[in-house]
Copies of this chain bind each other. A is one copy, B any other.
Amino acid sequence: MSQPAYTRMQVDERRRQLLDAGAELFAKHSFEEISMRELAEAAGVSKPLLYHYFPSKIDLFKAAVSEKAEELQRLIEPSSDGPAIEQLSQVLDSYLAWIEDNAQTWSKLLQSAATLPEARELVEGFRQRTMDLILAQLTEGRKPRPALRIAIKGWLGYMDAAILDWSESKDLPRAKLRELLLAAFGAALMAAGQADRRVRLRLD
């Protein structure tokens, strides 16, 4: 009988707990797959209280997921200052390691991004900064030719697709995948560089 009717928390604690619950659920389900009722239930809290802490579903989503996105963002900031190719290799490795640990979070974020402008911003912001990092090394700030720009965007798409397949089938060690991605990067640059000078491809 003297069981507390509910657990009372400090504002910060409660907010933290709701954020964690949100991060967990939004990693397992995309934005529209989960309802605020379920979210509140999972956190052991009433719906109005959830809305008291986060004025809308999107606010909760942004607050919860952007923490994860920032974590990933920090990983791709190059830390060493050796040769460009080594930096890329090292960044790729920590990127892949993060994906290995947070595969679901990432894939569900990509899924939400298709529909939700707010999620799209996160993903595209991440892509844009990645692109800028690469271009800063490659062209030293000059505007890239269209073919080069497309080649790099294409390579980012290559990465997404390759990583998606890899994290589903898992029949390649991470180091091998990194090698493949690196090789593809060089190859994409080559293909773009030679695109004016005609590239001949032969299958024997």
One of B111, B149, B157, B188 near A115 (C-beta < 8 A): B111
Q: Which of A4-12, A39-47, A69-77, A170-178 contacts B (4 or more CB under 8 A)?
A: A170-178
Contact yes or no, B154 A184, CB < 8 A: yes
Q: How far is the CB of A9 from chain B (nearest CB, A)?
A: 34
- The complex is assembled from copies of this chain, and their number is 2
Q: A151-B184, A176-B195, A183-B194 are in contact. Are A203 and B203 (CB under 8 A)?
A: no
Name the segment of A15-23, A50-58, A94-102, A161-169 touching the other chain.
A161-169
Q: How far is the CB of A198 from chain B (nearest CB, A)?
A: 6
> Does any Cβ of B come within 8 Å of A135's Cβ?
no
B187 touches A198 (CB 8 A): no
- Measured CB to CB, the nearest residue on chain B to A195 is B180
Q: How many residues of A contact B (CB 8 A)?
A: 58
**CB-nearest residue of chain B to A157:** B161
The chain B residue sitting closest to A202, CB to CB, is B200
Contacts of A114 in B (CB 8 A): 30, 110-115
A interface vs B, CB < 8 Å? 30, 32, 83-85, 110-115, 137-138, 146-147, 149-151, 153-162, 164-166, 169, 171-172, 176-177, 179-180, 182-188, 190-192, 194-195, 197-204
Known: A153-B162, A156-B161, A183-B192. 17 other contacts (CB 8 A): A32-B32, A85-B203, A111-B114, A114-B114, A150-B165, A150-B172, A154-B159, A154-B161, A157-B158, A160-B161, A179-B195, A184-B188, A186-B201, A187-B187, A198-B203, A201-B202, A202-B202
* A-B contacts, 5 listed (Cβ < 8 Å): A84-B203, A113-B114, A115-B115, A153-B164, A182-B199
